[in-house]
């Protein structure tokens, strides 16, 4: 499963890190747009006994998320830990499991690898309408 998401919250504990995000586009898989997703990672653990740390993000930094479809579980109702993004009634929420890879949509090496996987090409005009063509009589 491949999703394009906006991460809005990261919670770090001594057990690992949980990312919370909203789906912008479902590129492969069947999670709907606007769904809320979370995944767990074991990197960036806080030292044992540390107080959990929550970071909220208001910027719109898009990321690609790559997860195994077998790991995905639909969560019943929207769990409280999705706050503040659960304010829209009826949003579906999903846990993507513990083995998720995500890449910022940048020109970094992982970003290029993900773009190659998805076969994303730069946008280009493939057809031009008659009205949009250069009109010599207009003087422009």
Tens of pLDDT along 59-81? 777 888 888 889 999 998 778 88
**Which pLDDT value is given to residue 85?**
73
Mean pLDDT of the chain: 78
Domain that holds residue 26: 2-122
- Into how many domains does the chain fold? 1
**Which pLDDT value is given to residue 93?**
92
DSSP annotation of 121 reads: -
Name beta bridge partners: 40.
18
Q: Does residue 88 have a cis bond before it (omega within 30 degrees)?
A: no
In a domain, 139, yes or no: no
CB 67 within 8 Å of CB 100: yes
Q: CA of 35: how far to CAs of 17, 93, 97, in Å?
A: 20, 6, 16
In a domain, 130, yes or no: no
Q: Which of 71, 61, 62 is nearest to 31 (CA)?
A: 71
Alpha helices in the chain (DSSP H): 109-118
Helix (H, G, I), strand (E, B) or coil at 122: coil
**Which pLDDT value is given to residue 108?**
56
- pLDDT tier, 19 (very low <50, low <70, confident <90, very high otherwise): very high
Rounded to the nearest angstrom, the gap between the alpha carbon of residue 122 and the centroid of all alpha carbons in its chain is 20
Structure tokens at 46: 């806080």
Is residue 57 predicted with pLDDT exceeding 90? no
- pLDDT tier, 84 (very low <50, low <70, confident <90, very high otherwise): confident
**Which pLDDT value is given to residue 131?**
60
Q: Span 102-129, mean pLDDT?
A: 60
- pLDDT tier, 107 (very low <50, low <70, confident <90, very high otherwise): low
């Amino acid at each position: 499963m491949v999703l394009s998401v906006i991460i809005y919250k990261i919670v770090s504990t001594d057990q690992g890190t949980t990312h919370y995000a909203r789906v912008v586009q479902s590129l492969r898989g069947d999670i709907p747009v606007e769904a809320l997703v979370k995944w767990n990672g074991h990197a960036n653990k806080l030292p044992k006994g540390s107080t959990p740390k929550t970071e909220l993000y208001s910027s719109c930094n898009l990321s690609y998320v790559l997860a195994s479809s077998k790991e995905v579980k639909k969560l019943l109702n929207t769990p409280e830990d999705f706050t503040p993004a659960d304010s829209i009634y009826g949003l579906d929420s999903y846990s993507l499991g513990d083995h998720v890879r995500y890449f910022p949509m940048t020109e970094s090496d992982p970003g290029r690898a993900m773009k190659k996987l998805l076969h994303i090409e730069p946008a280009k005009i493939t057809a031009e309408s008659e009205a949009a063509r250069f009109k010599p009589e207009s003087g422009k």
